[in-house]
C-alpha cells in the first residue's frame, strides 16, 4: 500500500484494549508518528499504537464522514468491525508498509 489514499484507521493498545479512531491522508506516516510517540494527546497517553483496522477512501471528505460515523458507534460495533477483517488483532503495520 504505497499510494496515499485518505484512510480511516483504528489503533489499539492491545486486543480488546483502548481504541483510537483517526483519519489521515498518509497512513504510513501517521501510524509511524503514533508508534513513535510523536502524536500528543489521547493515543500517546493511553499507549495506543497497534494498527488493527483501516479503510481506504477515494476522497478526504468521504474518509472524514466515515471517521465521524465510526466515532459515534458504541464499543461493541467497533470491536465487531475490527474482528470482521482482523479476528486475531494482528498489528497491520507490516502489511501497510509492504
Distance CA 81, CA 85 (A): 7
For residue 56, pLDDT over 80 is answered with yes
Break the chain into its structural domains and give their ranges.
Answer: 7-97
For residue 65, pLDDT over 90 is answered with yes
The 10s digit of each residue's pLDDT in 1-41 is 445 799 999 999 999 999 999 999 999 999 999 999 998 99
pTM score:
0.94
* β-strand partners of 11: 20, 51
Mean of the pLDDT values across residues 46-67?
Answer: 97
Please give the CATH topology (third level) of the domain spanning 7-97.
Answer: GIY-YIG endonuclease (3.40.1440)
Cα 39 from chain centre: 14
Q: For residue 4, what pLDDT is reported?
A: 75
Residues 77 and 27: beta-carbon distance below 8 Å: no
Mean of the pLDDT values across residues 39-56?
Answer: 94
Distance CA 33, CA 90 (A): 19
* β-strand partners of 9: 22, 54
Rg (CA), the chain: 12
Q: For residue 39, what pLDDT is reported?
A: 87
Amino acid at each position: 500500500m504505497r499510494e496515499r489514499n485518505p484512510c480511516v484507521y483504528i489503533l489499539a493498545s492491545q486486543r480488546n484494549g483502548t481504541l483510537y479512531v483517526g483519519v489521515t491522508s498518509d497512513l504510513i506516516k501517521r501510524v509511524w508518528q503514533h508508534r513513535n510517540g510523536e502524536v500528543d494527546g489521547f493515543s500517546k497517553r493511553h499507549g495506543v499504537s497497534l494498527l488493527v483496522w483501516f479503510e481506504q477512501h477515494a476522497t478526504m471528505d468521504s474518509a472524514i464522514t466515515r471517521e465521524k460515523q465510526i466515532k459515534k458507534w458504541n464499543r461493541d460495533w467497533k470491536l465487531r468491525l475490527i474482528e470482521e477483517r482482523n479476528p486475531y488483532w494482528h498489528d497491520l503495520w507490516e502489511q501497510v508498509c509492504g
